[in-house]
Amino acid sequence: MFRELLRVAPRSAPEVEFAYQSYEPHASSAALLARLDEAHSDTTCVIAVNAHIEVSWDLSEGLFAWCLARGTPAYVYAHDYWPHHKDNVHALTTRLGAQLLASTPFIEEALLRDGFRSQVIAVGVPLPDVWPAARAPEVPKVVASAGRLVPRKRLPDIVRAFAESGLDDHTRLYLRLLPSQVFGTASDIDLFREIESEVERAQLTNVVLDRQPGEPPDYLAYSAYVCSSSYEGFSMTVIESAFHGCPPLMSDISPHQRTALALFGERAGDFLFPVGDHRALADLMRDEITSGRRKEHLDAHLAEIRATITSRWSLARTARALARLTCEVNR
C-alpha cells in the first residue's frame, strides 16, 4: 500500500512532499531515531500507521517522543483498533501528544466507544491506472485466498469449507500464506501445520499452499476469492477482488457488511456467510462455482462497482486528504 501511495501522491497532492520510513520490527528505537534525524529532520508532519499495535511498541514510543521534542505534529493512523489496544492509544495520546486518524467510520466508532476522538481519512486500495481488461478465469477453476498467518484470518476454515463443498478436481483451492509479522516464526509454523493437517485429513489433492512472497493476487485468474476473518479494520483484498470482477465471499463482520452493501446493494447477502461457519462457506463456494451467479452480477455491474471503488477507496483520495491535513496543521 505504501509504495502505491507514494506513486500516486505526486500527481494527486503535489502541494505536499510525501516520504516513507520503514523499520525492522526488531530494530532498536535508537536506530530508528538516528535514521529519522539523518533522512527526515525537515519533516513537518508525521503520520504513523498502526503505531498503537503491540509489535515494536518501543519504536512507536521513540517515534512520538522524537516528534514531541521537535514540536512536530504527529498522528496515529489507525487501520485496526480493538479494545486491547486501549492502553497503548491512551499512552500515545496523553503522554506523547499523538492525535488519532481513523481509516474507516467503523474504526472511528470503535475508538469513540473507548473515549477517543479521531478524524476519518478513508484508506484506499491499490488500483491500476487503467481498468484491467476482462480475462476468463483459469481452468480448472480456482477458489483463492491470501492472508497472514494469524488466527483471526481463520484460514483453516477455508480448507474445511473447501473439503465440505464436494467440489471435484475441476476446482482448486489456492491459499497464499504470508508471515504474521506479529506472532513470530514459531506461531506461524504452528498455524501452517494446522492448515496442512486439515488438507491431509480431508485427503485433498487439489490444494496449493503458497508461502513464497511474490506479486499481488491475480484476481482475474480466480473464480472466487474468500476472506473468512473473524475481524478486520478494513479489508482491502475483497475490494480489490470485486474491482477485478472476481466474486468476494466474505465473513459477515461489520466492515465486510458495509463493503458488500456499498458494492452489491440488495444483493449484499449473497456474498456473506456467518463467521466461523465453514458449512455455510462450503455452500457459498459450491453455489458460486457451479452457478456463477455472483460473477454474472459483477460482470453486469462492473463499471458501476469500479466507479464506487474509485470514488470511495482510491489511494489518490487518501493522498489528497493527508495532504490537506498536513497543510492545515502547518499553517
Q: Is 288 exposed, middle or buried (0-12, 13-18, 19+ CB in 10 A)?
A: buried
Are 303 and 185 spatial neighbours (Cβ–Cβ below 8 Å)?
Answer: no
Q: Estimate the crossing angle of helix 105-113 against helix 254-264, to 10 degrees.
A: 150
Interacting residues of 78 by C-beta distance below 8 A, sequence separation 6+: 50, 52, 89, 100, 101, 102, 103, 107, 111, 118, 233
**pLDDT of amino acid 213:** 77
CATH 3.50.50: does it fit domain 2-124+314-329? yes
pLDDT tens readout for residues 268-299: 999 999 999 999 999 999 999 999 999 999 99
Q: CATH topology for 141-308? A: Rossmann fold (3.40.50)
Burial track 193-230 (b if 16+ CB lie within 10 A, e otherwise): eebeebbeeeeeebbeeeeeeeeebbbbbbbbbbbbbe
Alpha-carbon distance of 135 to 184, in angstroms, equals 38
Question: Length of the chain, please?
Answer: 331
Distance CA 29, CA 43 (A): 18
* Residue the block writes with cell 458488500: 260
Residue 273, phi then psi, degrees to nearest 5: -145, 155
pLDDT of residue 183: 80
Full DSSP string of 116-162: ---EE----B---SSPPPP-PPPSSEEEEEEEES-GGG-HHHHHHHH
Q: Yes or no: say if 229 and 251 are a contact pair by the CB < 8 Å rule.
A: yes
The pLDDT value given to residue 214: 75
Structural domain spans, the chain:
2-124+314-329, 141-308
What's the rounded Cα separation, in Å, for the pair 216 and 176?
A: 10
- Selection from 246, 245, 293 nearest residue 269 by Cα: 293
For 2-25, what is each residue's pLDDT tens digit? 788 888 888 999 999 998 887 776
pTM of the model: 0.88
Closest C-alpha among 257, 224, 228 to residue 241: 224
**What pLDDT, on the 0 to 100 scale, is given for residue 25?**
64
- Residues of the chain scoring pLDDT < 70: 25-26
- Phi, psi dihedral angles at 149 (to 5 degrees): -80, 75
Q: In the numeric block, which cell numbers belong to residue 148?
A: 497472514
Alpha-carbon dihedral sign for residues 261, 263, 267, 271: negative
Strand partners, 249: 226
CA dist list (Å): 273 to 21, 92, 317: 39, 37, 30
